[in-house]
Amino acid sequence: MKPINTYVGSPVERVEDLRFLRGQGVYIADFEREGQWHAAFLRSPVAHGIVRRLDVASALAMKGVRAVVTADDIPAPIPKIPFRRPNPTIAPYAQPVIASGKVRYVGEPVAMVLAESAEVAEDALQQIVLDIDALPAVVDRETSLAQKTLLFEGTDSNVAAMFTARFGDVDAAFRTAHYVRREQFRVQRHTALPMETRGLLADWNAQSQRLTMFGAAKLPFFNRRVLAKMMDLDETAVDYVELDVGGGFGARGEFYPEDFLVAHAARAFGHPIKWIEDRREHFTAIAHAREMDADIEIACSEAGDILGLRGTIHVDVGAYVRPNGMTPVRNVVQFLGGPYRIPNIQLEARALVRNKTPAGTYRGPGRFEGCFFCERMLDIAARDLGLDRIEIRRRNLLIADDMPYRLAEVRPDDGFGDTACDSGDYRITLDRCAAEFGWKDKQAIDGKLIDGRYHGVAIGCFIEGGASGPRENARMEARAGGGVDVYVGSSAIGQGIETVMAQIAADALGIPMQRVKVMHGSTSYLHEGFGSYGSRATVMGGSAIVSAAQALLSAFRAIAARRLSVAPEQLGIADGVARAPDGRSMSFGDVGAEEALAADGSFASSKQTYTYGAAAAHVAVDPRTGSVQVVDYVVVDDVGRIINPLTLHGQITGAAVQGFGSVFSEQLIYDADGQLLVGSLADYQIPLATDYPHIRAISLEVYPSPNNPLGAKGAGEGGVIPVGGVVSNAIASALATFGVQPRELPLTPPRLWTLIDQART
């Protein structure tokens, strides 16, 4: 029976909206358990040092304080947080769940206060005496590389890891190329900044010896495995339960020190422990991201064929290697070449530890940065070679004949697997974007001074890797009333999976969407799941649901055939009803009421999908203030198959605005002592409603992915990836008369003004 696609592809309004709009969402801060204690963390005020004295007596004596936990209260050895992917050199750089003797970044947890209320817990923090003998803080790249101060005893280096991406013969290519250009670029440290801070509530049931962790997100199954091991429990004794989540963007959901500490306290003291991160601590406690500098060279033919890319990127991963800390490092070398055909590549990325908050993933990790480096290079090359900026891209973009296109191998192999662009003609989105944007007409104002502002345009291309493997699982159970419960291992972080998965399930089962209920994320639902990251939920979770649906329909057919006493192949199944040739019928609900009708599904793939696209920007720069208006921004992508155009469009638009924040205003600034100078939302400036009103996003379904039954490609991150490169190119184009070349982000008004001022003199 061929499913009739009615929901997939439709702009179905989101199921989850109903409770969010009524204020009935349940986020971790809204969740309570009887008898709970509140946790607050004392965090190191010093970037690097030896703890000489930690005196908690006064805090313990305060009314309402129940306990104080320090490293001394954790049985040795203090657990270290494991990595998500294997790597031969990073082990010494793992983060202990609490600082013990040494602190390595401002914000590192040193003690945990447990009290009857969050207010008292916070009051008690101020009563703890913490004396630290400061060590020299390693803050910048030079100091880190100089190795005079090593962050970790027993290592001989602050370089935690090195990744290389290689292809072809780069030396030969550069030797013989007509054109070679070397440039240095830098992306600033910034952070995902979800509107909801983190939180956890750990509940230990002493009778059943089971631990439940509320407030899971993104990776509940991995985190459960890690926590169980740290606490010497069987995995089945731990549940990670996902509630509503206020945004993740790659930062929330990884295993953090607080995951262990809150759980440990729940078991040690026999009370539920609730912790809600406050915004001030959030700035030093949640993973940072994106700080990289690149020294790269491009080699081209006279006609503009890209012959090679080589260079070195230094990534500041902060004081410890986080579970996903290597993802941006290995990504930047593999994806710097983006959507282009580049026959010779040698790129090396080094992960440097420094005394700052540890860094992890943020939407399009390593990809945003790589695209910025590559697209800036291309515009510079185009100008030097006297080539049209569209033409230099068009001739190098991957086309259908190239597919599958193997990207450069990354070594050491970290289990991510070698990867290949799956399908597409990347010129399609470039051409469509140029047309929608009005590229030809806009050339007339490029670089011109109009009413006191310089106007500039630029266009660039990108790929978005999605559907990270290895697999995802789903389970379906028919209910008595004819509905079907769907459990999937994907996690909700705001992307609307309750709706998107229901669309897929309803179409696959051939029943109305109202009868499908999607439950996600919690480890109690499935034996094994993998979570939401790398734009994988729709593809992996959705494909697992398709698989489960097929299995459920087979099981239904078998049961209905038995009960109707007909051969299975004689039954026609539609709308959740099995009909025998003589007209007798049986529905899901009929079966579900009397016997178990359930099925598991799974989708495994080691092949990523590659959404591809292009974006164009028109900016107007006020040279007197350095202020930039984004007059128009158009992004066109081919996602293979659109499941819900409403939610897809929302993801792309939201991601684009995050990209503008990265380009224009967001930065985490450290001083020479490793003090983070940004500690409030007044200082950390994300885009407002007044900043970027002109964004147009168009999604196409031209080349489905051959790598999954839906034909869909992951599309949650593509919106952010091209913004850095395209917008900074537009600014360079606007200021061409000054010869301003933006090489560093962010381009805040004062920083851009300084570039213009320097170019003038």
Partner 1 sequence: MKLPAFDYRSPETIDDAVHILREEAGAAKVIAGGQSLIPLLAFRLAAPSVLVDLAAIPDLNRIDIREDGVRIGAMVRWCDIESHEALAAAQPLLTAAVAHVAHYQIRNRGTIGGSLAHADPAAEMPGIAITCGAELSVVGAGGRRCIPAREFFVGPLMTSLESDEVIEAVHLPAWRTGRKWAFEEFAQRRGDFALAGAALFYDETDGVVRDAHVGVIGAGDVPRRLAEVEAVLNGRRIDTGLIAQAARTAAAAVEPADDIHASAAYRRALVETLVERALLHASQAGHP
Partner 2 sequence: MKVEFEVNGRPVEIDVAPRTTLADCLRQQLKLTGTHLGCEHGVCGACTVIMNGAAVRSCLMLAVQARGASLVTVEGLSHGEDLSPLQAAFRRHNALQCGFCTPGMLTTLHALLTREPFASEERIRDVLSGNLCRCTGYIPIVEAALDARSAYQAAAGSDHT
CB 61 within 8 A of CB 129: no
- Those residues whose C-beta lies under 8 Å from the C-beta of residue 391, and which sit 6 or more positions away, are 304
Classify burial at 117, counting beta carbons within 10 Å of its beta carbon; exposed 0-12, middle 13-18, buried 19 or more: exposed
x/- letters, 74..113, toward partner 2 (CB under 8 A): ----------------------------------------
The number of angstroms, rounded, from the C-alpha of 493 to the middle of its chain's C-alpha atoms is: 11
Q: Using the rule CB under 8 A, give the single segment among 146-154, 329-337, 343-351, 662-670 that binds partner 1.
A: 662-670
Min CB(40)–partner 2 separation in Å: 13
Nearer to partner 2, 7 or 588 (CB): 7
Strand 471-478 and strand 453-466: pairing? unpaired
Residue 651 binding target from partner 2, partner 1, none, CB below 5 to 8 Å by type: partner 2
CA distances in angstroms from 304 to 174, 214, 385, listed in the order given:
14, 55, 7
Identify the sign of the CA torsion 738, 744, 746, 751.
negative
Nearer to partner 2, 36 or 605 (CB): 36
**CA–CA gap between residue 493 and residue 30 (Å, rounded):** 16
Tell me if 757 contacts partner 1 by CB under 8 A: yes
Query: For partner 2, which residue of 87, 197, 327, 532 counts as binding (CB under 8 A)?
Result: 197
Residue 126 binding target from partner 1, partner 2, none, CB below 5 to 8 Å by type: partner 1
Tell me if 501 contacts partner 2 by CB under 8 A: no
Sheet containing 471-478, strands listed edge to edge, beginning at the edge strand earlier in sequence: 516-520, 484-488, 471-478, 598-604
**CA–CA gap between residue 214 and residue 657 (Å, rounded):** 31
**CA–CA gap between residue 270 and residue 644 (Å, rounded):** 45
Q: Using the rule CB under 8 A, give the single segment among 25-33, 203-211, 395-403, 468-476 that binds partner 2.
A: 25-33
Tell me if 753 contacts partner 1 by CB under 8 A: yes
Q: Look up tokens 């993104």; give the residue.
A: 218
The number of angstroms, rounded, from the C-alpha of 593 to the middle of its chain's C-alpha atoms is: 41
Tell me if 758 contacts partner 1 by CB under 8 A: no
Site for partner 1 in 115-134 (CB under 8 A): 118-119, 122-123, 126
Tell me if 651 contacts partner 2 by CB under 8 A: yes
Tell me if 209 contacts partner 1 by CB under 8 A: no
Q: Look up tokens 């537009």; give the residue.
A: 730
Number of CB atoms found within 10 A of residue 758's CB: 10
Residue 23 binding target from partner 1, partner 2, none, CB below 5 to 8 Å by type: partner 2
x/- letters, 259..278, toward partner 2 (CB under 8 A): -------------------x
Min CB(13)–partner 2 separation in Å: 5
| 15: helix, strand or coil | coil
Query: For partner 2, which residue of 226, 433, 630, 656 counts as binding (CB under 8 A)?
Result: 656
**CA–CA gap between residue 410 and residue 413 (Å, rounded):** 6
Write out 708-749 in H/E/C secondary structure.
CCCCCCCCCCCCCCCHHHHHHHHHHHHCHHHCCCCCECCCCH
Backbone angles phi, psi at 75, to 5 degrees: -60, 135
Nearer to partner 1, 435 or 688 (CB): 688
Tell me if 636 contacts partner 2 by CB under 8 A: no
What residue ranges in 526-608 does DSSP mark as E strands? 572-574, 577-579, 585-587, 598-604
Q: At what angle do helices 497-509 and 542-564 cross, to 10 degrees?
A: 40
**CA–CA gap between residue 534 and residue 536 (Å, rounded):** 5
Tokens of 343: 């026959």
Closest CA to 574 of 594, 548, 556: 556
Query: For partner 1, which residue of 278, 348, 402, 673 counts as binding (CB under 8 A)?
Result: 278
Tell me if 496 contacts partner 2 by CB under 8 A: yes
Tokens of 452: 């006191």
Residue 627 binding target from partner 2, partner 1, none, CB below 5 to 8 Å by type: partner 1
**CA–CA gap between residue 468 and residue 605 (Å, rounded):** 8
Tell me if 62 contacts partner 1 by CB under 8 A: no
Query: For partner 1, which residue of 89, 149, 301, 685 counts as binding (CB under 8 A)?
Result: 685
Tell me if 23 contacts partner 2 by CB under 8 A: yes
Site for partner 1 in 361-400 (CB under 8 A): none
Nearer to partner 2, 314 or 618 (CB): 618
According to DSSP, residue 446 is labeled T
According to DSSP, residue 75 is labeled P
**CA–CA gap between residue 582 and residue 349 (Å, rounded):** 69
Classify burial at 154, counting beta carbons within 10 Å of its beta carbon; exposed 0-12, middle 13-18, buried 19 or more: exposed
The number of angstroms, rounded, from the C-alpha of 653 to the middle of its chain's C-alpha atoms is: 16
Min CB(743)–partner 1 separation in Å: 18
Residue 496 binding target from partner 1, partner 2, none, CB below 5 to 8 Å by type: partner 2
Site for partner 1 in 308-367 (CB under 8 A): none
| 197: helix, strand or coil | coil
Radius of gyration for the alpha carbons in the chain, expressed in angstroms and rounded: 27
Residue 470 binding target from partner 1, partner 2, none, CB below 5 to 8 Å by type: none
Q: Look up tokens 């990670």; give the residue.
A: 240
x/- letters, 134..173, toward partner 2 (CB under 8 A): ----------------------------------------
CB 162 within 8 A of CB 349: yes
Tell me if 122 contacts partner 2 by CB under 8 A: no
CA distances in angstroms from 392 to 181, 202, 384, listed in the order given:
15, 55, 12
Tell me if 30 contacts partner 2 by CB under 8 A: yes
Tell me if 688 contacts partner 1 by CB under 8 A: yes
Residue 22 binding target from partner 2, partner 1, none, CB below 5 to 8 Å by type: partner 2
| 477: helix, strand or coil | strand
Tell me if 30 contacts partner 1 by CB under 8 A: no
Size of the site for partner 1 (CB under 8 A): 32
Min CB(27)–partner 2 separation in Å: 7
Is the peptide bond between 746 and the residue preceding it cis, with omega within 30 degrees of 0? Answer: yes
Tell me if 126 contacts partner 2 by CB under 8 A: no
Query: For partner 2, which residue of 108, 196, 414, 422 counts as binding (CB under 8 A)?
Result: 196
Size of the site for partner 2 (CB under 8 A): 57
Nearer to partner 1, 19 or 279 (CB): 279
Tell me if 490 contacts partner 2 by CB under 8 A: no
Nearer to partner 2, 464 or 666 (CB): 666
Tell me if 22 contacts partner 2 by CB under 8 A: yes
Q: Using the rule CB under 8 A, give the single segment among 36-44, 413-421, 467-475, 646-654 that binds partner 2.
A: 646-654
Tokens of 562: 């038995």
Site for partner 1 in 711-750 (CB under 8 A): 748-750
- Site of interaction with partner 2 (CB under 8 A): 13-14, 16-27, 29-30, 119, 192-197, 244-247, 249, 278-280, 493-496, 646-647, 649-651, 653-658, 680-682, 686-690, 692-693, 695
- Site of interaction with partner 1 (CB under 8 A): 118-119, 122-123, 126, 278-280, 624-627, 664-665, 669, 677-680, 682-683, 685, 687-688, 690-691, 748-750, 753-754, 757
